[in-house]
Amino acid sequence: MSVPLDKQKILLQDGKSKQSVPALDPRWMEEVQFVGYQAPPIDLSDKGQYEEWLERLKFIEDDLHWLLQLPHGRFWCQAIFDESLHRCIDSYLRYAPRSYETVAKLPSSAKKSHDEVHRLVFLTCMRMSTYKESKEHHITPSVFGEILYENFLYDIPKLLDLCVLYGQGNQPLLARMIENIFTQQPKYNDDLAGVVGTLSEVFDNIMAKCGIHPDPGSQTPQKLGDQGNIVSLVTMATGEFNDIILYLSDIGMTLTSFLNVYPPACMAFHGGEFLVKLPAFYDAVVPEVFATLKQKEQDISTKKALKQKLTQAKTNLLEVFKTVVYHCCIQPLLEKRDIASDYIEDYLHIMSGILNDRRFLADYEGIHSFQGDIDILLQAGGDIDETRIQYIKEAVNLAFATFGKRKAPKGAMNRGGRKSPDGSPSPLEGGASGVGTLASCRVSDLVPADAYQVEDYDSSAVGACATLVTGVELESLITSVKDLLPELGEGFIELCLEELGYDMERVINSMLEDRLPASLRDLDRQLPRKQRAATPPSLVHERKNIYDFDEFDVFHRDDVDTRKIRRGKADKSESVVIGDQSELRYIKDAISKDYGTVVDVVEDDGRGHLGSPRVAGVNNEGYARDMYEDEYDDTYDTNVVGADDADSADELTTIRPFTVPRVLGGGQSRDSPRPSYEESEESEEEDPGKKRDLFLQDPAELREMAAERAHTKANRNKQGQGGGQRSEGKSQGSGQGGKTYDVKGGPKGQGQSQEVLRNRRWKTQHKGDHRKALADKKRRV
């Protein structure tokens, strides 16, 4: 194997003196000034600024192309000792648009140039993270780790930016690159632990910026100079407030991307107080920012974009917590590592520490199921404290019932569906508790899935299926709350009921604990009630139909028998299902009334299946034929009956005689005298030319038809032999007479004669003639 680059020496001769210089030395560096990157201009109408940005992109593209074409030794000299290259890479990682941001406003040519720079920066970082390019070009791994760390080629902020920029499209390569860096230089693990501690300080700074004390229950005295400079989110400047939302979104997306690309980093976030700081920060800041965003006066497009960023930050922060807990506590249990009780205890300790952050628990339960984690813990075995698990479960259920936003269950409310983590009912967002709902309306089919994660979702968007509380029901709720809290105004109580889903218990509980939502805290609690316009009734209740309240009306009934509902026509082989024994009695009485005889009906076999009714003392075949059907039944019309039977010519031409219904006088009644045998014989003699429909055909006709078929077959065989039809048997010389056609030929690899090739081609073209002749024969017969 060749000598590593860090041990190579280059002999430098200066006049008469010779000097041995290391291969990694500043004197081998080229004097190239790399240009720093700048973000795309916001205003593209400024031609000067736009052209300057394009020229800067062109310089960066040319310089990176030149750098990547350098040989191994020269590349590393340039990468280690060129400070302008470090600034260029660092500026791009800091200011380049993130993967969740688009550069859609740029022209196609500018976007193409920007994408090329994006690709070249990634290739440069990939080459700088590889210590072995080939067997001849490599660096000692330990020296490679020192080069990266001591020359600041990589640090934790750069790795975080790389994950955000390239994590979605190049995750496998990026994961190998970061794993190689952490493997060759373990000092980066200590730096990562320091960054986790810095994140806790960042959370405290954001809370202080928003005017929220990190720990409202603490008795720590505040500085005297800070009391006059308290700034809340409501009084904060609009630009500063928007920066906080963008900062939260950037933090959430960066942490999520880094942990998804490099899961071993979860151990660093698991240590310390990060898993306690994150829920507390979320519970204190995110709801307040959501409530303040509603009150801020901004244009609709800006507010919509900020709302999307805040929702994205909310989801990402929850995902960070879930990822760390999964990789540090749940995944070891699934892989059955070491002692399961240690990981179970660790999980219960984490969840016990965040029970006070109820809004965080409610949102976490709305996206990630706590019950799923409990099931994994129980399946892992080991010593589990059931009382502790039950306590945590009750706390999560209470938080979800108070602040949670759940999705509507699949199907009717009384037929199952997820109501709350423990199965107890909790109100739909925008709905009412204890108010009748339409079982047939599925809110999940009318509202997008992400609407349940946004706190200002309007329930009126579901239209006719929205559950509204008006009139006497609303008056009753307001009166019940006012009886317990008489100092509150009726208007304030109505607003609280609307905000909390018309749940009287949640309103009273929030008032007593002083945990009202941010949108209700600044309102006047003596607010009187306003007269509102009458709410139009639901379209479903206004609808009038002839099928109202029948057995299949899903709008007014919840006990519809689905066994009687089928899609399409029924199969002929299906048995008749009768659910009530009174229907059997009805069939017996109807048949006995018509015929005056005892009816023997096959009773129910226990599954609701009935046999065919048999009438005692009556020819059942004649009964089924002469029974008049008032309404035509098309249930089995789609079944093909007799289509594949080999019908004879007589059956196809025979027409069934028309039978006059019995009620019209066509059949014999019960009181009419039966015809005697003598009268039937005379009627037969009077019409001797009438063709009798016999079950057996005349044997003379059968023999004549068989002779005709044999004659036709003999003529066809003679024509086939005389016409020179080539068959495989004749081609192989089977001795049937006539000329033989050789299609076998000689051995493979020696070539074939033209005659053999011609015979094979003829055989291929006419191989289906015999089958066609047999098919014609079958159709004629």
Q: For the segment 421-456, what is each residue's pLDDT rounded down to a tens digit?
A: 444 444 434 333 333 332 333 333 333 333 333 333
Picking from 181-185, 207-211, 606-610, 738-742, which range would have the lowest pLDDT averaged per residue?
606-610
Pairwise CA distance, residues 186 & 194, whole Å: 14
Picking from 203-212, 515-524, 662-671, which range would have the lowest pLDDT averaged per residue?
662-671
Pairwise CA distance, residues 248 & 311, whole Å: 10
Pairwise CA distance, residues 461 & 554, whole Å: 22
Render 728-759 in DSSP notation, one character per residue: HHHHTT-SSSS-----S-S-TTS---HHHHHH
pLDDT above 80: residue 145 = yes
Q: Specify whether the CB–CB gap between 193 and 268 falls below 8 A.
A: yes
Run of H or E including 622 = helix 620-626
Picking from 16-20, 243-247, 254-258, 342-346, which range would have the lowest pLDDT averaged per residue?
16-20
Burial grade of 522 (CB within 10 A; 0-12, 13-18, 19 or more): exposed
pLDDT (0 to 100) of residue 444: 33
pLDDT (0 to 100) of residue 303: 87
Write out the two tokens for 112.
């193409």
Run of H or E including 614 = strand 614-615
Residue-wise over 100-122: b if at least 16 C-beta within 10 A, else e?
eeeeeebeeebeebbebbbebbb
pLDDT (0 to 100) of residue 487: 84
pLDDT above 70: residue 601 = no
Residue-wise over 136-158: b if at least 16 C-beta within 10 A, else e?
ebbbbeebbbebbbeeebbebeb
Pairwise CA distance, residues 211 & 18, whole Å: 69
**Mean pLDDT throughout 648-655?**
51
Which pLDDT band, with edges at 50, 70 and 90, does 127 fall under?
very high
pLDDT above 50: residue 626 = no
pLDDT (0 to 100) of residue 175: 93
Pairwise CA distance, residues 354 & 276, whole Å: 6
pLDDT (0 to 100) of residue 178: 94
pLDDT (0 to 100) of residue 431: 37
Picking from 445-459, 502-516, 684-698, which range would have the lowest pLDDT averaged per residue?
445-459
pLDDT (0 to 100) of residue 269: 92
pLDDT (0 to 100) of residue 156: 93
Amino acid at 36: G
Which pLDDT band, with edges at 50, 70 and 90, does 478 fall under?
confident
**Mean pLDDT throughout 130-147?**
90
- Please count the CA atoms within 13 angstroms of the CA of 728 that sit on its side-chain side: 5
DSSP β-bridge partners for residue 654 = none
> pLDDT over 70 for what percent of the chain?
67
Determine the 3-state secondary structure of 569 from DSSP: coil
Higher pLDDT, 610 or 127: 127
Higher pLDDT, 697 or 226: 697
pLDDT above 70: residue 78 = yes
- Please count the CA atoms within 13 angstroms of the CA of 580 that sit on its side-chain side: 7
- Cα distances (Å, whole numbers) of residue 558 to 292, 538, 551: 43, 19, 10
SS (H, E, C) 67-89: HHCCCHHHHHHHHHHCHHHHHHH
What is this structure's pTM?
0.55
pLDDT (0 to 100) of residue 102: 54
Angle of the 47-68 helix axis to the 72-81 helix axis, nearest 10: 130
- Per-residue pLDDT tens digits for 237-291: 888 888 999 999 999 999 999 999 999 999 999 987 899 999 999 999 999 998 8
Pairwise CA distance, residues 292 & 232, whole Å: 10
- For the chain, the residue count is 781
Pairwise CA distance, residues 460 & 466, whole Å: 6
Pairwise CA distance, residues 311 & 454, whole Å: 7
pLDDT (0 to 100) of residue 718: 66
Render 89-116 in DSSP notation, one character per residue: HHHHHHHSPPTTS--TTS-HHHHHHHHH
> pLDDT over 90 for what percent of the chain?
23
Residue in 423, 444, 415 with CA at minimum distance from that of residue 558? 415
Residue in 251, 219, 217 with CA at minimum distance from that of residue 356? 217
- Cα distances (Å, whole numbers) of residue 503 to 103, 426, 433, 538: 46, 9, 6, 21
Which pLDDT band, with edges at 50, 70 and 90, does 44 fall under?
confident
Angle of the 386-403 helix axis to the 358-367 helix axis, nearest 10: 90
pLDDT above 90: residue 568 = no
Pairwise CA distance, residues 708 & 699, whole Å: 14
pLDDT (0 to 100) of residue 624: 44
Pairwise CA distance, residues 123 & 121, whole Å: 5
- Per-residue pLDDT tens digits for 584-594: 565 556 555 55
Pairwise CA distance, residues 668 & 396, whole Å: 80
pLDDT (0 to 100) of residue 738: 56
Render 441-487 in DSSP notation, one character per residue: --HHHHS-GGGGGSTT--GGGGGGG-----THHHHHHHHHHHHH-TT
pLDDT (0 to 100) of residue 326: 92
Picking from 183-197, 323-337, 376-390, which range would have the lowest pLDDT averaged per residue?
376-390
- Cα distances (Å, whole numbers) of residue 394 to 275, 276, 390, 763: 21, 20, 6, 83
Q: Specify whether the CB–CB gap between 454 and 408 falls below 8 A.
A: no
pLDDT (0 to 100) of residue 519: 76
Higher pLDDT, 439 or 362: 362
pLDDT above 50: residue 350 = yes
pLDDT above 90: residue 318 = yes
Pairwise CA distance, residues 385 & 382, whole Å: 10
Q: Specify whether the CB–CB gap between 89 and 121 falls below 8 A.
A: yes
Higher pLDDT, 367 or 15: 367
- Please count the CA atoms within 13 angstroms of the CA of 610 that sit on its side-chain side: 18
- What average pLDDT does the structure give for the chain? 75
**Mean pLDDT throughout 550-557?**
80
Residue in 81, 187, 75, 83 with CA at minimum distance from that of residue 138? 75
DSSP label of 35: P
DSSP β-bridge partners for residue 9 = 22
DSSP β-bridge partners for residue 599 = 615
Q: Specify whether the CB–CB gap between 499 and 521 falls below 8 A.
A: no
Higher pLDDT, 428 or 755: 755
